[in-house]
């Protein structure tokens, strides 16, 4: 058997050499490197709604130490490396679904905008929308899970004017009040507050405050998920008998905060409450087999969450290209 394989290999090699000789002894010219990437959007259908995921670009957090806490640092690093992830730089995606219900065009969260607080790779949501053929002026509603920089940063442009001129904006009043409070400008939260004020105050007259359990748009229901921020909210999106949950920042990482969901995250306003909320809501989502759309999981962030003995496991949905 070994001899036969060797002979086949030699014959294949000989055939290759023969072809090269027939072409005059010269290899074919190499194709130039293109240096470009595919557009950063993905489209699929949920019920009667068309969903387009647009990216604001990767958001690097750096080393996990000090950010993911409550579990020994070496264990966190091993969890990352065991899953073929860089143990020295945790990188999150920024996935925002744009849901076309037929009557409304609804954008969930707006990315970092002009802020480069997490480096140069963020702030491409407007470009992603243009690549997907979505015009900012066509957006009817901008739904905000909470008022952190990477979720409200793209409301206004570099000229401080609203980028979605015809939209109403939806957020909890508790989050709006907390993150636009001038009294916090002298605290460690200063940069977050400045960014929230820059983006939320110009659209104050178009803000609609939402409450836990409220269906504030047809097919869009708010589900209170406090802890990450005081008014952090996730959303159930339903159409034609199908649904998915937009998780906002219920969980930032598909390994660290799912396998060990009680691990704490330093950007949480109340890390203990956030962990309790995470476990409670993920239990419900897993038990009911509700598909999820995750803001920060690997692109494009659509899939399923299942319960395990100690936590949860994320199963990405295949990117079906048929609409």
- Is pLDDT at 288 greater than 80 in this prediction? yes
pLDDT tens figures, 1-32: 444 455 554 444 444 445 444 445 555 668 99
Least confident of 18-32, 53-67, 248-262: 18-32
pLDDT tens figures, 117-152: 999 999 999 999 999 999 999 999 999 999 999 999
Average pLDDT over residues 295-300: 97
CB 91 within 8 Å of CB 251 = no
The pTM of this model reads 0.90
pLDDT tens figures, 66-108: 999 999 999 999 999 999 999 999 999 999 999 999 999 999 9
238: left (phi over 0), alpha (psi -120 to 50) or beta: beta
CB 90 within 8 Å of CB 67 = yes
Q: Which residues pair with 308 in a beta bridge?
A: none
pLDDT at residue number 13:
45
What is the average pLDDT score of the chain? 92
pLDDT tens figures, 36-56: 888 999 999 999 999 999 999
User: What is the CA angle 46-51-54, rounded to 5?
Assistant: 150
């Amino acid at each position: 058997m070994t001899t036969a394989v060797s002979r086949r290999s030699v014959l294949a090699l000989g055939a290759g050499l023969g072809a090269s000789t027939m072409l005059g002894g010269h290899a074919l010219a190499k194709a130039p490197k293109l240096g470009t990437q595919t557009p950063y959007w993905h489209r699929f259908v949920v019920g009667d709604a068309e969903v387009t995921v647009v990216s604001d670009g990767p958001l690097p957090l750096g080393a996990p130490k000090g950010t993911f806490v409550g579990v020994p640092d070496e264990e966190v690093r091993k969890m990352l490396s065991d899953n073929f992830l860089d143990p020295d730089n945790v990188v999150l995606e920024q996935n925002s679904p744009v849901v076309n219900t037929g009557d409304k065009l609804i954008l969930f969260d707006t990315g970092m905008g002009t802020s480069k607080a997490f480096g140069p790779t963020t702030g491409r949501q407007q470009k992603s929308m243009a690549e997907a053929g979505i015009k900012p002026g066509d957006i009817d509603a901008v739904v905000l899970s909470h008022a952190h920089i990477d979720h409200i940063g793209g409301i206004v442009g570099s000229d401080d004017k609203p980028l979605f001129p015809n939209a109403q904006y939806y957020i909890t009043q508790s989050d709006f009040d907390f993150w636009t409070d001038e009294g916090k400008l002298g605290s460690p939260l200063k940069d977050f507050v400045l960014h929230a004020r820059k983006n939320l105050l110009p659209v104050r007259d178009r803000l609609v405050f939402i409450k836990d359990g409220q269906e504030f748009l047809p097919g869009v229901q708010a589900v209170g998920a406090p802890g990450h921020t005081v008014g952090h909210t996730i959303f159930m999106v339903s159409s034609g008998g199908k649904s998915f949950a937009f998780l906002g920042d219920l969980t930032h990482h598909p390994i660290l905060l799912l396998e060990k969901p009680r691990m704490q995250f330093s950007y949480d306003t109340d890390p203990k409450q956030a962990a309790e909320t995470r476990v409670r809501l993920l239990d419900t989502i897993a038990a009911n087999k509700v598909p999820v759309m995750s803001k920060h999981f690997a692109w494009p962030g659509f899939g399923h969450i299942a319960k395990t003995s100690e936590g949860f496991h994320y199963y990405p949905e295949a990117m079906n290209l048929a609409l």
